Amino acid sequence: MKNFQIPTREQVSPANQSLFDNLTKMAGSVPNLFAAFAKSENALGNYLTLGAGKTSLRAKEKEVVNLVVSQVNQCLYCLSAHTAIGKMNGFTDEQIIEIRKVNISFDLKLNALAHLVKSIAENQGHASEETLEAFYSAGYDEGNLVDVVVAVGDKIITNYLYALTAVPIDFPIAQDI
């Protein structure tokens, strides 16, 4: 929907206004894609709760999931946002490109994670036995696998919302690869 209007604080429910206020305090503004969630009475709160949930994945591992899923789904908004967040978490521009290409030379454990995530995203949740074995051999366990699936689902939600709304990207645009 190319004419999807991003709501202002005054145009959303009181509950969403409170979430806007919290996001502004934490991030300095409400990202356009998060504002799009506020068109729904409950979606923004539900999405923020999902994203803030406890996980066995470290911040860098979550960014690998976010970048790989967004690359598979060709979501420029999320690639742009997570390039910026990836840098805040210590990744270099070169490392982010390696992550997006699923060819991580600087960390073999993250490489195994990226390959699993790519397979899950491309194959509707399926992964080869070889890919799963490489994931486990890299030091991950079954609990980590479950947390990876939740993180993939989280990122698919935003990728799909952007695909349907095409809200303006309010992050530096990610490099094309």
CATH of the domain at 95: 1.20.1290.10
Residues in the chain predicted with pLDDT less than 50, given as ranges, are none
Same domain, yes or no, for 88 and 126? yes
CA distance 16 to 122: 33
Same domain, yes or no, for 39 and 73? no
Same domain, yes or no, for 46 and 29? yes
Same domain, yes or no, for 96 and 41? no
Same domain, yes or no, for 73 and 102? yes
By CB atoms closer than 10 A (0-12, 13-18, 19+), residue 125 is: exposed
**pLDDT for the residue numbered 121:** 98
**pLDDT for the residue numbered 176:** 93
Range of the domain at 23: 9-52
Q: Is the dihedral of CA 122, 36, 27, 176 positive or negative?
A: positive
Same domain, yes or no, for 13 and 34? yes
**pLDDT for the residue numbered 57:** 98
- Has residue 170 been placed in a domain? no
Same domain, yes or no, for 144 and 74? yes
Q: Which of 32, 29, 42 is nearest to 4 (CA)?
A: 32
Same domain, yes or no, for 145 and 68? yes
- Has residue 89 been placed in a domain? yes
Same domain, yes or no, for 48 and 66? no
**pLDDT for the residue numbered 3:** 83
Q: Is-contact 127 119, C-beta < 8 A? A: yes
- Has residue 27 been placed in a domain? yes
Same domain, yes or no, for 104 and 42? no
How many domains are there within the chain? 2
**pLDDT for the residue numbered 86:** 98
**pLDDT for the residue numbered 96:** 98
Question: Would you state the structure tokens that stand for residue 155, as one six-digit string?
Answer: 């990122």
**pLDDT for the residue numbered 63:** 98
Same domain, yes or no, for 91 and 14? no
